[in-house]
């Protein structure tokens, strides 16, 4: 029984040691998803405006405003997530966008996946491999930010 307990304890220590890298991978993955979408939008702005007008209009916003806001968030928030800078704040517009896309345009399983990953960052923070963590430690707040 002691061998099982030691193995399990060692396994838990390994998981704890790997968690910063895992949170970094989560941040990089979700940043890539939104960054790629933002790059696609700016590469053909007239099509982007057409899509926001006809395909997936955002309720309550003029198409041009929705296109600018969406593209801005898709290009700025991934940079923040990649750096782990204001990462929790950066998840909020992306979560809202994911919800709007899911409920007004098309429901796709990946939207739930994105929301789950963004929720991990929002609730657990960006992890130790982030500027948020470095800033918190320098400010004397320990590991929380």
* 86 found inside a domain: yes
Closest among 76, 87, 78, 75 to 135, alpha carbons compared: 87
Q: State the pLDDT at residue 2.
A: 93
The domain total for the chain is 1
CA distances from 65 to 24, 95, 138 (A): 32, 18, 39
144 in a structural domain = no
- Establish if 7 belongs to a structural domain: no
Name the residue range of residue 129's domain.
20-138
3-state secondary structure of 132: helix
83 belongs to a structural domain: yes
CA pair distance 49, 129, nearest whole angstrom: 37
Q: How many CA atoms lie within 13 A of 98 on its CB side?
A: 21
Calculate the alpha carbon distances from 67 to 37, 70, 131 in Å.
Answer: 12, 5, 29
Distances (CA, A) of 100 to 2, 40, 56, 111: 52, 19, 9, 10
pLDDT of 145 reads 60
2 belongs to a structural domain: no
| Residue 33 placed within a domain | yes
Residue 12 lies in a domain: no
Please tell me the distance from the alpha carbon of residue 16 to that of residue 94, in angstroms, as a whole number. Answer: 28
Question: What does each of the 145 residues of the chain score in pLDDT, given as a tens digit?
Answer: 999 999 999 999 999 999 999 999 999 999 999 999 999 999 999 999 999 999 888 889 999 999 999 999 999 999 999 999 999 999 999 999 999 888 877 788 899 999 999 999 999 999 999 999 999 999 987 665 6
| CB burial readout 28-59, b (16+ within 10 A) else e | eebbebbbebbeebeeeeeebbebbeeeeebe
Query: Is residue 8 included in any domain, yes or no?
Result: no
Q: What is the pLDDT of residue 106?
A: 76
């Amino acid at each position: 029984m002691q061998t099982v307990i030691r193995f399990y304890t060692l396994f838990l220590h390994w998981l704890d040691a790997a968690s910063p890298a895992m949170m970094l991978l989560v941040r990089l993955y979700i940043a890539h998803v939104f960054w790629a979408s933002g790059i696609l939008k700016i590469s053909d702005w007239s099509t982007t405006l057409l899509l926001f007008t006809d395909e997936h209009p955002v309720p309550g916003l003029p198409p041009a405003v929705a296109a600018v806001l969406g593209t801005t968030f898709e290009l700025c928030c991934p940079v923040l997530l990649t750096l782990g800078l204001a990462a929790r704040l950066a998840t909020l517009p992306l979560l809202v966008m994911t919800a709007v896309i899911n409920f007004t345009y098309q429901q796709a399983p990946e939207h739930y996946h994105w929301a789950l990953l963004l929720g991990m960052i929002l609730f657990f923070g960006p992890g130790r491999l982030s500027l948020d963590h470095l800033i918190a430690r320098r400010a004397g707040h320990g590991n929380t930010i």
